[in-house]
Homo-oligomer: A and B are copies of this chain.
Amino acid sequence: MPEYKAPIRDTKFVMQELLNCEDHYQRLGYEDASIEMVDAIINEAAKLNEQIIAPINQVGDQQGCTFDNGKVTTPDGFKEAYQHYVEGGWPTLSQSLEFGGQGLPHSLSTAIGEYTSAANHSFAMYPGLSHGCMATLEAHGTEQLKQMFLPKLVEGTWTGTMCLTEAHCGTDLGMLRTKAELNADGTYRLTGSKIFISAGEHDLSDNIIHVVIARIPGSPEGTRGISLFIVPKFNVNADGTVSDQNGVTCGSIEHKMGINGSATCVINFDNATGHLIGDVNRGLNCMFTFMNAARLGVANEGVAHADAAFQGSLAYAKDRLQMRSMSGPKNPDGPADPIIVHPDVRRMLLTQKSISEGGRALIGYLAQLVDVVHASKDEAEVAKAEANLALLTPIGKAFLTELGLECAGHGVQIFGGHGYVKEWGMEQLMRDAKISCLYEGTTGIQALDLLGRKILGSKGELLKGFATEIGTFCHMNGQNPELTSYCITLGKYSEELAKHTQQLGAKAMQNPDEIGAASVDYLMYAGYVTLAYFWAKMAKTAAETLAKGTAEEDFYQAKIKTAKFYFERILPRAEGHAACMINGADSMMALDSEDFIF
């Protein structure tokens, strides 16, 4: 199992140098978030994740969670690590001061969230789901409900879940059957069964607060008849103390490909007492608030998987001696050269490196937009941030998780046969990484959201905003000899993207299936272009620092060299996606569903 080292230096490069978080935080009124404070928190988070959370990653996979008569036991060490996590105040980091939080920016907890996902994806699920529950409750709950539930959730002594999926509906939540009937006291009684509930039942916290979507009898069919409820495992008194067990039980846990330390539960509600949050029948709209944040969190997992695979692969590639370099021995005194000398091994390592570092920059940028949405008083700025978030969240979610999985796969390949054996940790990364392409909306669903709802739905306006940002960057930096070629290339791809978008829009008017036929290729194309923009920006920052003079010349040169690799060896993949996408829907829709197999 490779040792995890939090990429502190790179996090600081992204937050402080690329995205100037100091100004950003001060401007938004996050006065406590000084550079010194950010540094101190990141350093402490690194220690926590390296020393406490990473060491239980492998045992978590091996043991998994166990289910016995409604109770779920997490793997050895999870309970102690979670206690440590709570005692360190980590759940409170970016929560509101009003409910006991530290009121620090979301972008800071996002940076740390990457470390936890990389150190131990399964462990990260527990605080991650709480985060979703808290965000939903804070945005839509009544003051009374917030006072009842939030302090303990913020503290971390209670955890939360999001209960959406039922056996017959995942993507298509309009079909849900769980019903919520009004009680005389204004509460509701919920009955139904939810599946795939992460952290639905476990032994880490004193209470579990479920956010549940359900249908109030008599509501409209489909998505316009869904309401949102808070349903605690143990009922809670008005003063926030725990009372009796609610009608909530765990029916079983799933046996999965990966994230075995994360309990994936069937949760049964049997006349369970629930509290409405948000307006009746507006539950799905309330959920959308949460979904963007959750999708950004999953996008961050893609970065985490790429980085964890990169770290393991790099250590192995420097250590493992096998064959000689084709351009002459590089380790003439040894029996063979370390495999990092071989170009194809470097191709895989640099793919991992350019995706994890490029993805970290994209996530950092998106997390700052989340800060803006939360804290800015400038309506125009908030609207622009929301527009970019709407556009880039599905790209980040699907593109970074698909690439995260690819990078984990490269990790297995770099280790060769050893990568397939459990003890080295690479295959676990690959198994864990696959879930990120599925939950919170599969890659296909993200792609439909991007192309159908966001891009064509806005008549191209959302894309135009971001394309303008890229265009401005290219215009401003095109004369800088360090950046000229990147600006030309990036400008060309960005214009191609606009052209493809127009063509797709026109085709979709004739045949709406053209959207779904193009969507995943379109999203991947957009993803490669988006990351190219961030690599160009990073190259600019690095070149400026080098020009000013720095003691860390190698670090900044590596950034510039990695940007070059990304532009030359990763970005051109987009051409394959474009070439497939322009051929349209016809060949995909021609076959009758009965004629797929004979």
Contacts and interface: CB of A to CB of B under 8 A. Distances in A.
A577 interface: yes
B417 A170 contact: yes
Contacts of A437: 413
Interface stretch (A149-157, A367-375, A590-598): A590-598
Given A169-B322, A254-B422, A340-B593, 10 more contacts: A170-B417, A171-B322, A172-B322, A255-B423, A257-B431, A314-B597, A564-B586, A568-B583, A568-B586, A573-B576
B580 A562 contact: no
Contacts of A254: 420-422
A439 interface: yes
A328 to B, nearest CB: 9
Interface string A257-291: 11000000000000000000000000000000000
A361 to B, nearest CB: 15
Interface in A518-574: 519-520, 552, 554-555, 557-558, 561-562, 564-565, 567-570, 572-574
A343 interface: yes
Contacts of A447: 344
A504 to B, nearest CB: 12
B513 A326 contact: yes
Nearest to A258: B420
A416 interface: yes
Given A344-B448, A579-B576, A256 B421 contact: yes
| For the complex of A and B, 3 pairs with smallest distance between CB atoms | A576-B576, A572-B579, A343-B516
Interface stretch (A36-44, A88-96, A106-114, A346-354): A346-354
B587 A327 contact: no
Which interface residue of A310, A348, A519, A575 has the most chain B CB atoms within 10 A? A575
Nearest to A443: B413
Which interface residue of A336, A344, A419, A594 has the most chain B CB atoms within 10 A? A344
Which interface residue of A10, A326, A448 has the most chain B CB atoms within 10 A? A326
A344 B427 contact: no
A126 interface: no
Given A175-B335, A353-B596, A555-B598, A562 B591 contact: yes
Contact of A590 (B561, B576, B590, B592): B561
Given A255-B423, A338-B593, A416-B170, A344 B576 contact: no
Contacts of A597: 5, 7, 310-311, 314, 353
Contact of A257 (B310, B335, B430): B430
A319 to B, nearest CB: 11
A207 to B, nearest CB: 26
A196 B417 contact: yes
A-side binding surface: helix, strand, loop or mixed? helix
Given A417-B170, A588-B569, A598-B554, A512 B257 contact: no
14 contacts: A170-B416, A172-B322, A255-B422, A326-B516, A327-B513, A342-B516, A347-B588, A353-B596, A409-B434, A413-B443, A431-B431, A555-B595, A569-B588, A576-B576
A345 interface: yes
A444 interface: yes
B573 A344 contact: no
A333 to B, nearest CB: 15
A435 interface: yes
Contacts of A417: 165, 170, 195-196, 438-439
A565 B593 contact: no
A452 B348 CA distance: 19
Nearest to A418: B170
A561 B580 contact: no
A537 to B, nearest CB: 18
Contact of A427 (B434, B515, B579): B434
Contact of A444 (B7, B344, B515, B594): B344
Contact of A515 (B326, B583, B587): B326
Given A175-B335, A322-B171, A554-B598, A580 B588 contact: no
Contact of A587 (B175, B322, B561, B588): B561
B444 A345 contact: yes
Interface in A282-335: 310-311, 314, 317-318, 321-323, 325-327, 335
A585 interface: yes
